Amino acid sequence: MDLARLVELGKIDKNTPHPPALIGQDGVLELTQLAIKKEIKAQIILNEGLMPGMHAIGEKLSRGEVFITDMLIAARAMNVALGQLKPFFLSGEIQAKGTIVLGTVKGDLHDIGKNLVKMIMEGDGWEVKDLGTDVSEEQFVEAVNNSTDAIVGISALLTTTMLHMGSAVQRLRENNPNTKIYIGGAPVSQSFCEEIGADGYFSNPHGLARELRKAPKLLI
């Protein structure tokens, strides 16, 4: 079985009892180690071996064909592989597609949606700066000041906390008018996105990665 399929299935390593049909078989860890041993270029392992698996599970999640549990275990498998590739990131042999600053808005501690976006973006080759939850406008601004090319993703769970998105967008705009800002979360809608002047809204965690793949120049 190929690496991408193992990522998609969440077969972390040989000892992982999931999926039941692959018990005892090599997983993402072993295949990634093998690919490195065979001196396959790290960027190729990432782009052609691992990322297609995350793309596949993300697409299936957005179509409702799989569930968050499936995404979480796929992301865990991906993380194990990324751990093996870390030296190549550090040496510069692998280049991230870009940087995204992520955070749940002020007053809001909900993190499931944000974490899903983080996993998907990492799996899509992005460097993610996760500011966590209850993130103030100042924290977003500071993070963008430290990564001026970064795009920003802001999440909210509640109707009340969603309203903080507007001031965060405003502060970010004042600070760096060219920063692209995307929003998501249960109460958020396209009309709210337009109302607060964000650059985009995605109703599922895979939406941003998909759009960036389709038209990276347009969106970044």
Partner 1 sequence: MLTHEQLYGNKANPNFEELLRVIKGQIPSKPVLFEFALNDRLLGILSGEARENNTSRIAPFRRLIRAFTNAGYDFTTISAWRTNTLHFVKGDLAEKESRSLNSGNMISDRESFEAYPWPDPELGDYDIYYDLREELPDGMQLIASGNGGLLENVIDLVGFEDLSMMTLLDQALTTEIFDAVGSRLLRFYEIVAPIETVGACIVNDDWGFKNQTMFSPDMLRRWVFPWHRKIVAAIHKSGKKAILHSCGQLKDVMDEVIDDMKYDAKHSFEDQITPIEEAYKLWGKRISIMGGIDMDFLARSTPEAITNRSKLMLEQGLLHGGYALGSGNSIPEYIPDKNYFAMISAINS
Backbone angles phi and psi of 106, in degrees to 5: -50, 135
Shortest spacing between CB 109 and partner 1, in angstroms: 5
Residue 72 is a binding residue for partner 1 (CB under 8 A): yes
Q: Strands 200-201 and 99-104, how do they pair? A: unpaired
DSSP assignment of 142-180 equals: HHHHHSTT-EEEEE--SHHHHHHHHHHHHHHHHH-TT--
Shortest spacing between CB 161 and partner 1, in angstroms: 5
Residue 177 is a binding residue for partner 1 (CB under 8 A): no
Residue 190 is a binding residue for partner 1 (CB under 8 A): no
Stretch that binds partner 1, among 86-94, 106-114, 123-131, 165-173 (CB under 8 A): 106-114
Which letter, b or e, does each residue of 28-64 get, where b requires 16 or more Cβ atoms within 10 Å of its Cβ? bbbbbeebbeeeeebeebbeebbbbbbbbbbebbbee
Q: Which of 32, 84, 99, 115 binds partner 1 (CB under 8 A)?
A: 115
Q: Which of 56, 186, 219, 220 binds partner 1 (CB under 8 A)?
A: 186
Candidates 165, 145, 167; CA nearest to 155 is 165
Q: Which of 1, 34, 44, 109 binds partner 1 (CB under 8 A)?
A: 109
Residues that bind partner 1 (CB under 8 A): 10, 16-18, 64, 66-70, 72-73, 76, 107-113, 115, 133-134, 157-161, 186-187, 189, 203-204
